[in-house]
Amino acid sequence: MRNVIALTLTPLATLVAGPALAAGGGKFLALDNTDFVVLLAFLLFIGILLAVKVPGLLNKQLDDRAEGIRKELDEARALREEAQTILASYERKQREVQEQADRIVASAREDATAAAEQAKADLETSIARRLATAAEQIASAEASAVKEVRDQAIEIAIAAADEVISKQLSAAEANKLIDAAIADVDAKLH
């Protein structure tokens, strides 16, 4: 309130001093002097403002406004802190999700590497089995071919022996050989 009075009296003193010095004496306090009348009206106006307690009302309104602004600032600070907390929470969650994604990718890479190694081992095993099967088939075919050659050789040898024997043996000697073979077979079977 003192500030309001000081602010009001300073221009008032300037107003009073300026015309009073220019008027040259006693003419300033006359009612026909407009400067004096304006001064009186101004003082009356200031008095009415002080009587109605306008400065107090203005101060109260300014204080209320300052308190409202202070509350809004406190609210804004609280909201900012809450937002920072939420942001930190989301950043932490983002880091956790990123770490989990990195672990998943690393695990997938390890699984892919293990699957590739397993596939390679399975392929090698399969190739080894196929080679072994092919070797067995080759051995079987070779044995079959050898047996077939032997069988043909035996047939040819038997045919040749039959031809040679039939030309050199007489019927009586052939019958003796047949009887001996039958007896030999009979002895071996019993």
DSSP code per residue over 70-110: HHHHHHHHHHHHHHHHHHHHHHHHHHHHHHHHHHHHHHHHH
For residues 169 and 177, the answer to whether their CB atoms sit within 8 Å is yes
Whole-angstrom Cα distance, residue 12 to residue 50? 16
> Tell me, what's the pLDDT at 83?
96
In a structure prediction context, what are the per-residue pLDDT tens digits for the chain, which is 190 residues long? Answer: 555 454 555 555 555 555 444 544 557 788 888 999 999 999 999 988 888 888 888 899 999 999 999 999 999 999 999 999 999 999 999 999 999 999 999 999 999 999 999 999 999 999 999 999 999 999 898 888 888 888 888 888 777 777 777 777 677 777 787 888 888 888 887 6
pLDDT at 23: 47
Q: What is the pTM of this model?
A: 0.39
- Quick one: CA torsion of 28, 31, 36, 40, rounded to 10 degrees? 140
The predicted pLDDT at position 26 comes to: 56
- The pLDDT value recorded for residue 52 is 86
Looking at residue 92, its pLDDT comes to: 96
> What pLDDT, on the 0 to 100 scale, is given for residue 178?
80
> Would you state the pLDDT for residue 5?
54
Q: Cα separation of 180 and 143, whole Å?
A: 34
CA distance 28 to 158: 173
